[in-house]
Chain A
């Protein structure tokens, strides 16, 4: 083998090395992006579905006890999350993914607190707090969470979805004023736009990486 042949082989190997590094790093970034999208799809999808179920149940039974169906969200969401984690475990952790987990743990905790707060107020005052709209508060928290997540992962579609959610939340009181019977469906729409859609966009990054 001549020196020139050896140099040519060495040169190609170096180029291949750089190409391998770039390819692997790109794939890994997308793997991390995919893991961010799945919880959005699960919780956005479950909440939208349960919203539709609750709306139908309230409309056709006119019984407030049907509001207990909202508990399907944590039950179904948790079951699907556990099942998904077993089928598609998360392989990489980054500081960013840990921060996003903590962000949503905080938001989830706030949602639970604000969802049960009216019951506490009712216990204290003896009447249900009529001007407290749980759906408005939860929608606001989720929209802010989605916007922050989008900024953290630098995914513009997620930021836009969060922004759309905030606009929808801003209109919520007006919508409730004119179409009170549809506010549960409106709530479902906010979750569809603010969580499910950005989740699909985040997840499609994985699909494009697999091609």
Chain B
């Protein structure tokens, strides 16, 4: 029986964000933008979607005088990502 894919993760940008965050403790907005090749606005929208689903936590702070946004994956997000990968593998 094929497992259903999580529609929230079945998107190039959101999947790239989750793949990054599952590997690290946290990553900043600049790096996520670089790795997803998304525009700042689009990435913001996608990050908010993931945050609304409690898959990630977004921290807005400062590094010196510069604003810095960092993201962290949550336990719910990590579990959702693992289930997504298992579902992908079940199809192949």
Contact = CB atoms under 8 A, between A and B. Distances in A.
Interface of A: 10-11, 13-15, 17-18, 20-21, 24-25, 27-29, 31-32, 89, 91-95, 98
- Prevailing SS type, chain A contact patch: helix
Q: Which interface class (under 10, 10 to 19, 20 to 34, 35 or more) fits B? A: 20 to 34
Contacts of A28: 19-20, 23-24, 27, 35
Contacts of B8: none
B15 A20 contact: yes
Nearest to A98: B25
Contacts of A93: 24-27
Contacts, number: 67
B22 interface: yes
Interface in B18-58: 19-20, 22-28, 30-31, 34-35
B65 interface: no
A21 B15 contact: yes
Given A18-B92, A24-B20, A25-B22, 15 more contacts: A13-B10, A14-B88, A14-B92, A18-B85, A21-B15, A24-B16, A24-B19, A25-B23, A28-B19, A32-B24, A89-B28, A91-B27, A92-B24, A93-B25, A98-B25
